[in-house]
Structure 1
Amino acid sequence: MKVMIFVCGEGLGHTSRCISIGKELVSAGHDVHFGAYGYSRELIERKGFKTHMVPSEITLVGKAGSLNLKKSILATFKRGQFLGIIKIRKFLKRTKPDVVISDSYFMGMLSAKSRSIPCYLIVNQSNMEEFFKGKGVSSKILAELVKKFYTGMFKMADKVIIPDFPLPHAVCRKNLDFKEKTWKKVFFSGPLIGKTFEETIAKELEKPHVLCTVGGFGYREPIFRKVIEAAGMDKSINYTLLSGPSVDPASLGTLPENVTILKFIDDQFPYMKASDLVIAPGGHSTMMEALSFGVPMITVPDQKHSEQQNNALVIEEDGLGKMLDYSTSPDVILENIRVLIDDEKYKKKLTEMRELAVELNGPGAVRLLVEEMEN
């Protein structure tokens, strides 16, 4: 079977989960192709997959840690990016896939349906209109248009795949709002992550260990520096912090001896397996990775980002970690780190989530779904 996977390149979470599906399908003997753009395309190519350049679908606009979806949509229309659907239709006519999997790349799904190709849509949010709440009359009108667009996409898809634990455990559940007919074709695959716990060899790190992926650039720099300050208050806990390629670790001054700063790591799974805690923003994919490895989280969601805020709330409500914000003091950060590392109830809960992720086998579940539907 020939499978085309279209990837939304705005955020590498989409890319990593599609790579996990691609690996599974290739291992089962299927002919897998990717349609991607930007850094996402480069990453997929480095993994050795057949990759094709496709037009980007949306231009993200925002500042100071806040996504402005209204301006993003207007900028996208202004650049004429949605006209790329013509290119995608011609591309599908040339490549002739048997099935299309589209991770939040709606031009791919529209093009597939226009050519009567079965299409599976991957999303972890269906309430994008939340971005527009309380932002004036024009935003309210735009919110209704966005909602109608998404509703149409969900109606058109053959299956809507949610890359999360099934209800009631789904971390993204506060971001899901489907009509009754759509719920009937919703499929909770389980986490889709790049590496499983079993196949990962843990990095040799001093224990207990905290992995912080917040990054030290732009609006996230204050919380990054507060984590470093918290580390200096208790030298018995060790830290690996990812600063990002735009930050020179030398600019951070003298670091506590229990802190290691890395700009970037190609494979963070060995670090995650060796860690007792992960500090990260509220991105869905990182949460799926941490839970699949049985590691509790401190989440620091981006400001005014309703999806991340909702994800972080579920992490705290379900006893899987703590939700903090950019105003949190180093003392409170350290207090929460100690609780999550030492409290046995968190360890028990996270072990259950790791075992559930293994049982679900997300990539395998998606492969079986596609194979069954194709047959």
Structure 2
Amino acid sequence: MKVLIIPCGIGMGHASRCTAIAEKLMEKGVEVLFASYGSGYEMLKEYRKYETVKLPDLKFYGGEGELDIKDTAKKSIDTPFIFLKSIYSESKVIKDFKPDIIVADSHYSVPITAKVLGVPCVLVANELTFNFSDIYPQDKTVEYLENGLERFIKDVSRLCRAIIVPDVPESIKIPAKIEDKVFHVGPLLKEDPAHIPGKDELRRKFGFNEEDKIVLVTVGGSEFGLGLLKIVCRAWDLMDCDRIIMVTGPQISQDFIPDCDKILKKTFLEDMMEWMKLSDIVISLAGHTTSMEITALGIPNIIVPIDNHPEQLKNAAHVKKYGISLIRDMKELTPEGIADDVNRLLRDENLKVRAEKTIQTFSRYSGTEDSVEIIMEHARDNGEPL
């Protein structure tokens, strides 16, 4: 059996969770090929274990820590051309590889390409609706854009055999016409939290002292995380911790990060969940994959959504209810404020109880295994008309 996986390449989260699916498929003897672009493509190349084809880039615009929907719309006048170019590139990959099924993670040209070529497609998506008009309530252009995108996503989703939502039930709004295709499977995790070694063992493995207080900072490979990284760099000496691990992703230069014994710089971590588990606190943007990994592991965290990014704002609100996350506004973030948050979390003994409850909640799900079963079921049944 052959499976082609095409994740959205904006940030590393989509590609990262797709590697969890790929690992399980390969364990079953399935041949896997990836195709992506941007940070997702760069991350997959770093793994060096997956054959990966480069697709045309898509881009969002904004400043450090801020998504600008209006500017993105203005600068995306060539989007129809890029979209057609993507379909052409995808079709070439599909014809060369001849997959039994395609898995598309939030890359919405793929179901169209798959339909045209008669190959079954399964969609992975943690969001099927948008809330741009909440951010620009007086702007009719944004409202029209949002309505058009939602109709497009709904119509494209109907072309898929199944839609995998890597989250708990009722985490997102599902359009009525595709409810019968949707499966809430829980997080797609590269490692089962119950099978990851304990914190002390992981610290010995990676060369840290068992008694160290460790803070992990990760921005998911997105250039929108540059602002958060710079604030942490101004706060490092105010934090009552021993080590700060800063993971920038492949598209952010590390030149601005201080050279000191307290800070460990990383471009990419293949075993990210192990590094999360050995940490006392994680500071992150509100990307869905990272948020789910942190929460499933029960690690106290500080989540900073990208400004004007509806999905990240919803992700932050979603994880806040578990009681182990502090949600902070990027515009209001200061070095003193984030240092105070870190120091307060490091002292809060009550977090342990809430962390254990969170781990128990997510332990009920086996998202990666269930997703693989859904994919293989539809690959075996690819003679059925779409």
TM-score, with normalisation over the residues of structure 1? 0.84
Matched, 1:141 2:144: yes
Matched, 1:347 2:352: yes
Matched, 1:163 2:166: yes
Q: Which moved more, 1:102-111 or 1:288-297?
A: 288-297
Shift of residue 61, structure 1, vs aligned partner: 1.8
From 262, 282, 288, the equivalent of 1:284 is: 288
Q: Deviating runs (4+, > 6 A) in structure 1? A: none
Matched, 1:153 2:149: no
Equivalent residue letter for 1:219: G
SS at the partner of 2:157?
helix
The size of the alignment, in residue pairs, is: 359
Matched, 1:309 2:313: yes
From 216, 220, 223, the equivalent of 1:211 is: 216
Which deviations, in whole Å up to 9, do the C-alpha atoms of 1:227-275 show, x marking residues without a partner? Answer: 41431xx3xx3331416352336x648x6x7x32414343433321211
SS at the partner of 2:40?
helix
Equivalent residue letter for 2:109: M
C-alpha distance in 2, partners of 1:292/1:139?
A: 35
Equivalent residue letter for 1:306: P
Query: Superposed, which structure 2 residues align to 1:90-101 within 5 Å?
Result: 90-101=92-103
Q: Which moved more, 1:261-270 or 1:282-291?
A: 261-270
Query: Superposed, which structure 2 residues align to 1:69-80 within 5 Å?
Result: 69-78=69-78, 80=81
Given the superposition, is the C-alpha separation of residues 278 and 107 from structure 1 closer, same or farther in structure 2, using an over 3 Å criterion? same
Given the superposition, is the C-alpha separation of residues 290 and 248 from structure 1 closer, same or farther in structure 2, using an over 3 Å criterion? same
C-alpha distance in 1, partners of 2:75/2:335?
A: 39
Shift of residue 75, structure 1, vs aligned partner: 3.7
SS at the partner of 1:202?
helix
Q: Which moved more, 1:277-286 or 1:121-130?
A: 121-130
TM-score, with normalisation over the residues of structure 2? 0.82
Q: Which residue of 2 aligns with 1:189?
A: 185
Q: Which residue of 2 aligns with 1:248?
A: 255
Shift of residue 281, structure 1, vs aligned partner: 1.3
Given the superposition, is the C-alpha separation of residues 101 and 73 from structure 1 closer, same or farther in structure 2, using an over 3 Å criterion? farther
Q: Which residue of 1 aligns with 2:384?
A: none
C-alpha distance in 1, partners of 2:44/2:327?
A: 32
C-alpha distance in 1, partners of 2:284/2:225?
A: 14
Larger RCO, structures 1/2 (Cα 8 Å, 6+ apart):
2
Query: Superposed, which structure 2 residues align to 1:1-375 within 5 Å?
Result: 1-45=1-45, 46-56=47-57, 58-78=58-78, 80-84=81-85, 85-130=87-132, 133-134=136-137, 136-164=139-167, 166-167=168-169, 173=171, 176-197=172-193, 198-199=195-196, 202-204=202-204, 205-206=208-209, 207-214=212-219, 218-231=226-239, 234=240, 237-242=241-246, 244=248, 246-248=253-255, 252=258, 259-267=262-270, 268-326=272-330, 327-330=332-335, 332-373=337-378, 374-375=380-381
C-alpha distance in 2, partners of 1:43/1:338?
A: 32
SS at the partner of 2:22?
helix
8 Å contact from structure 1 (residues 129, 144) kept in 2: no
C-alpha distance in 1, partners of 2:17/2:126?
A: 12
Point out where structure 1 has 5 or more consecutive residues left out of the alignment. Answer: none
Given the superposition, is the C-alpha separation of residues 74 and 152 from structure 1 closer, same or farther in structure 2, using an over 3 Å criterion? farther
Equivalent residue letter for 1:113: K
Shift of residue 42, structure 1, vs aligned partner: 4.0
Q: Which moved more, 1:357-366 or 1:333-342?
A: 333-342
8 Å contact from structure 2 (residues 214, 280) kept in 1: yes
RMSD of aligned residue pairs (Cα, Å): 2.8
Equivalent residue letter for 2:163: V
Point out where structure 2 has 5 or more consecutive residues left out of the alignment. Answer: 382-386
Shift of residue 312, structure 1, vs aligned partner: 1.6
Q: Which moved more, 1:142-151 or 1:346-355?
A: 346-355
Shift of residue 69, structure 1, vs aligned partner: 3.1
SS at the partner of 2:373?
helix
C-alpha distance in 2, partners of 1:25/1:218?
A: 35
SS at the partner of 2:351?
helix
8 Å contact from structure 2 (residues 104, 121) kept in 1: yes
C-alpha distance in 1, partners of 2:325/2:42?
A: 33
8 Å contact from structure 1 (residues 321, 340) kept in 2: no
